[in-house]
Amino acid sequence: MPTTFSELGLSAEVLESINALGYEEPSPIQALAIPPMMAGRDVVAQAQTGTGKTAAFAIPIIERINTRRAGVQAIVVLPTRELAVQVAEAVHALGHGRGITVLPIYGGQPYDRQLRALKAGVHVVVGTPGRIMDHVRRETLRLDTTSMVVLDEADEMLDMGFLEDIEFILDKVPAERQIGLFSATIPARIEALARRYLREPERIMIAQETRTAPQTQQFWYETPYRSKLDVLARILDFEQPPSAIIFCRTKREVDTLAEALQSRGYSTAAIHGDISQAQRELQLRAFRDNRAEILVATDVAARGLDIPDVSHVINYDIPDDADAYVHRIGRTGRMGAKGEAITLVTPRETRLLHSIEQQTRKKMKQLKLPTQADIAARRREAFVSALRETIESGAGEPFGRLLEGLAQEHEPLAIARAALYLAATGGGSGRGDGSFVGGEGEPAEPEPDSAVEAGMVRLFIDAGRKQGVRPQDLVEAFATQAGVAPSTVGTIDLYDSFAFVDMRTAGAKKVIEQGVVRLHGGEAHVKKAVPRTGAGAGPRRKK
Ligand code: AMP
């Protein structure tokens, strides 16, 4: 089976488009379907949405079109308008380098626009059966130059009652043609259709005998495509994973997601095929040394790497197949340790999820998205158990003397309440932003929790993630509004409603004098942060 796109004998233009899309290697359906389709053979392929099936038929179509010839050379027949638009976009993205033109046509869209485009001439038409049939009947679409037909999501088209329309279309295509039939399931009716219209098709099915690691709990969340980032952020806030690998499908998604997470305050490392070996090593080291809590990766980049066991594997994009799934989640729950695997699934991908479940013979549990109250409760739980551990371990002993003094003036319970309040608002929770107090008002500002480097001053800014502030916004605001060179800015710790910034003394002075910076249309106050003087419960500045 070919493992790289270049082994598939593709043109330089298409290889370039594939690279621009960020695909690193062919998915299983692509590796299996592209060679026979490039050779002109008929194909029956069992594949769900999410497996890369669109490119599996789009690439051979694009490569086999003769751009010097006029007339529609390929048609893709599929069940819905959304799919028509998506597939046409994919054909364009992969084929524009070769000069391939494509037109989606579907019911509900005005005819005149479609007519104009059809008249001008396109190589590929992607459409729903009814609308294609209408155009053929009106002779506004001629199929006598068509040599390739793909039936995409064929089982769904039959379920929707399109069989006759499909037969009508196939009967109008010249006898010398190639047909690709793609379907998530192959029931008897699909078999009958294939027997009637296809010639000695190559049959493609990706079946695995795979089982998953028993120690790993497996969950999934349904999420619309658009909300994936917000859903992920909510999950991370809830789970507070000590270390997590997040898998994306493409290099580009890795870059985008890593940047988005970084700007939301998660220390994030990223690896994919386009990142140099040296840079990858640095990123990995940051992850291994716990300087980065999250590693975002493609399958290819993560393969064969010595990555330590992690507490969470998150599939930001569902993998192509059960093999890839098992491989990914094998990064957690090793050697008896507990692990969690979480998969984000868009509505269109639920069939792929179920087929992965079937092949791994393990059901994943669907979870509801945690609410802010759930997140606060989870943090409270974590805090209480940390408190219990501290009591049992006797780690609080050094504060005994301090407590004796205070006990002269106050009730022990009152002291405990105040101490809890300070700990809660001052970094006692996992992420140190005190938000486990949730619902009880905005927490007080925590103090900066690590020592400032020599020659640097720590600043406190009263705006944070909730105000849409990202680290780069702070650097830019200091540079443009206070004339501070970006290179003098050190560590930035961004929290929900405030931030700490380390800065060289001279620059910090300027910013403190100015006192205010404009951020996202609002004003934020800047002052020198008050350093913490002792561990945890040490005396605090007056508010
Ligand atoms: P599909 O099953 O065709 O709906 O494709 C699902 C998703 O996978 C789409 O977002 C594609 O852009 C993406 N995709 C397709 N082929 C690859 C590949 N070889 N590597 C990474 N992503 C891919």
Q: How many CB atoms lie within 10 A of CB 372?
A: 13
Alpha helical stretches, state H, 198-343: 228-239, 251-263, 277-288, 299-302, 322-329
Q: What is the mean pLDDT of residues 103-109?
A: 88
Q: Ligand 1 mean position to 317 CA, how many Å?
A: 10
pLDDT one-digit tens code per residue, 198-254: 999 999 986 543 344 556 889 999 999 999 999 999 999 888 888 999 999 999 999
pLDDT score recorded for residue 13:
97
> Which residue has the CA at smallest separation from atom 16 of ligand 1?
52
* CATH among 3.40.50.970, 3.40.50.300, 2.70.98.60, 3.30.450.20 for 5-206: 3.40.50.300
165 and 92 Cβ atoms separated by less than 8 Å: no
User: Is 448-528 in the same CATH topology as 211-370?
Assistant: no
pLDDT score recorded for residue 538:
31
pLDDT one-digit tens code per residue, 463-494: 888 888 888 888 888 888 888 877 778 878 88
CATH number attached to the domain at 211-370 = 3.40.50.300
pLDDT score recorded for residue 543:
27
pLDDT one-digit tens code per residue, 161-188: 999 999 999 999 999 999 999 998 888 9
> Which residue has the CA at smallest separation from atom 11 of ligand 1?
52
Question: Ligand 1 — pocket residues by CB below 6 A?
Answer: 23, 26-27, 30, 49-55, 249-250
Instruction: Tell me the C-alpha distance between 468 and 497, whole Å.
Output: 10
* CATH among 3.30.70.330, 3.10.20.30, 3.30.420.40, 3.80.10.10 for 448-528: 3.30.70.330
Backbone torsion region of residue 130, taken as left when φ is above 0, otherwise alpha when ψ lies between -120 and 50, otherwise beta: alpha
pLDDT score recorded for residue 539:
30
> Which residue has the CA at smallest separation from atom 19 of ligand 1?
26
Q: Ligand 1 mean position to 280 CA, how many Å?
A: 24
Q: Ligand 1 mean position to 90 CA, how many Å?
A: 9
Which tops the pLDDT comparison, 397 or 297?
297
Banded pLDDT at 304 (limits 50, 70, 90):
low
- CA dihedral sign of residues 238, 240, 245, 249: positive
Amino acid at 440: E
3-state helix, strand and coil shares in percent for the chain, rounded to the nearest 5? 45, 15, 35
What would the two tokens of residue 432 be?
């140190």
Banded pLDDT at 298 (limits 50, 70, 90):
very high
CA–CA distances in Å: residue 55 to residues 72, 88, 110, 116: 19, 11, 28, 27
Three-state DSSP class for 4? coil
Report domain extents, the chain: 5-206, 211-370, 373-425, 448-528
pLDDT one-digit tens code per residue, 326-384: 888 888 876 656 789 999 999 999 999 999 999 888 889 999 998 888 888 887 887 88
pLDDT score recorded for residue 535:
33
Alpha-carbon 479 to chain mean position: 32
Q: Ligand 1 mean position to 132 CA, how many Å?
A: 26
Q: Ligand 1 mean position to 455 CA, how many Å?
A: 50
Q: Ligand 1 mean position to 55 CA, how many Å?
A: 7
Instruction: Tell me the C-alpha distance between 308 and 396, whole Å.
Output: 32
User: What is the pTM (predicted TM-score) of this model?
Assistant: 0.59
- The separation between the first and the last C-alpha atoms of the chain, rounded to the nearest angstrom, is 67
Ligand 1 atom nearest residue 86's Cα: 4
Ligand 1 atom nearest residue 54's Cα: 3
Judge whether residue 91 has pLDDT over 80: yes
Show the beta-strand stretches assigned E in 433-521: 456-461, 489-494, 499-504, 516-519
Which tops the pLDDT comparison, 386 or 8?
8
pLDDT score recorded for residue 426:
56
Alpha-carbon 345 to chain mean position: 10
DSSP code, position 332: B
